[in-house]
């Protein structure tokens, strides 16, 4: 029913994560209704980000140039590294204003079922950073999922073996602020009990 260019636009929007067929159609029709300069600004922004943004050579965070802004910042504590699965995980941690160290982005989580093994992630580079740069603590901030937990345990064992003087910690997990106990699952509640602190 639609012309091939419109169908192509819908198809491309539909490839984005979390975008279904109806949302893809709405986005396509929105682009068609917007003035040409606004639509072309979106196209230029996509082109620019694909041409200029890469990965930091040190931590594998998103970067314009060889090093990201966090690795370039001399005020950040180079002896403290926070390990995350994806570059998008850096943003919520930065928003807390609690962490003043540097990051290491693995590029995913271990999942042998999906064919993701240690050599598919930036684990070797992490070990190299920890062994050679006077790092005192590695905070493992992988997701609280099966693959995230497996990755955290693997990293803890590997770093204890390769760099025994380095402290390896894991982000605490438990009840979110503002939640009711009756809605918490057993695993979350159990973790909250294990990670309880003195008042």
**Domain annotation covers residue 148:** yes
Q: Using one digit for the tens of pLDDT, what is the confidence trace for 37-79?
A: 999 999 999 999 999 999 999 999 999 999 999 999 999 999 9
| Domain coverage including residue 91 | 76-170
Q: Which residue has the tokens 């590997």?
A: 158
**Domain annotation covers residue 152:** yes
**Domain annotation covers residue 63:** no
d(CA 178, CA 193): 17
Q: Quick one: pLDDT at residue 22?
A: 96
**Domain annotation covers residue 93:** yes
DSSP-derived 3-state class of residue 138? strand
d(CA 85, CA 61): 10
Q: Quick one: pLDDT at residue 37?
A: 95
From the centroid of its chain, how far is CA 138?
16
What CATH number is given to the structural domain containing 165?
3.40.1360.10
Positions of the chain with pLDDT lower than 70, given as ranges: 197
How many domains does the structure of the chain reveal? 1
Q: With contact defined as beta carbons under 8 Å apart, do 112 and 89 qualify?
A: no
**Domain annotation covers residue 190:** no
**Domain annotation covers residue 136:** yes
Q: Quick one: pLDDT at residue 107?
A: 96
Q: Among the residues of 79-185, which ranges form H helices?
A: 90-95, 123-132, 146-162
**Domain annotation covers residue 144:** yes
Question: Which tokens is 180 given?
Answer: 């009711």
Q: Quick one: pLDDT at residue 132?
A: 77
């Amino acid at each position: 029913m639609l012309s091939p260019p419109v169908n192509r636009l819908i198809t491309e929007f539909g490839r984005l994560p979390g975008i279904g067929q109806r949302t893809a159609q709405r986005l396509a029709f929105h682009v068609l209704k917007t003035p040409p300069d606004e639509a072309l600004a979106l196209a230029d922004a996509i082109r620019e980000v694909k041409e200029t943004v890469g990965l930091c050579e040190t931590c594998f965070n998103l970067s314009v140039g060889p090093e990201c802004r966090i690795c370039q910042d001399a005020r950040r504590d180079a002896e403290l590294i926070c390990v995350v699965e994806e570059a998008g995980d850096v943003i919520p941690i930065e928003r807390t204003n609690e962490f003043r160290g540097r990051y290491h982005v693995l590029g995913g989580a271990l999942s042998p079922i999906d064919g993701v093994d240690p050599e598919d992630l930036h684990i070797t580079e992490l070990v190299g950073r920890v062994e050679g740069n006077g790092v005192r603590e590695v905070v493992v901030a992988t997701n609280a999922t099966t693959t995230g937990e497996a990755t955290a345990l693997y990293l803890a064992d590997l770093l204890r073996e390769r760099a025994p003087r380095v402290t390896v910690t894991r982000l605490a997990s438990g009840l979110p602020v503002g939640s009711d106990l009756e809605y918490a699952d057993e695993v979350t509640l159990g973790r909250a009990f294990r990670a309880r602190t003195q008042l």
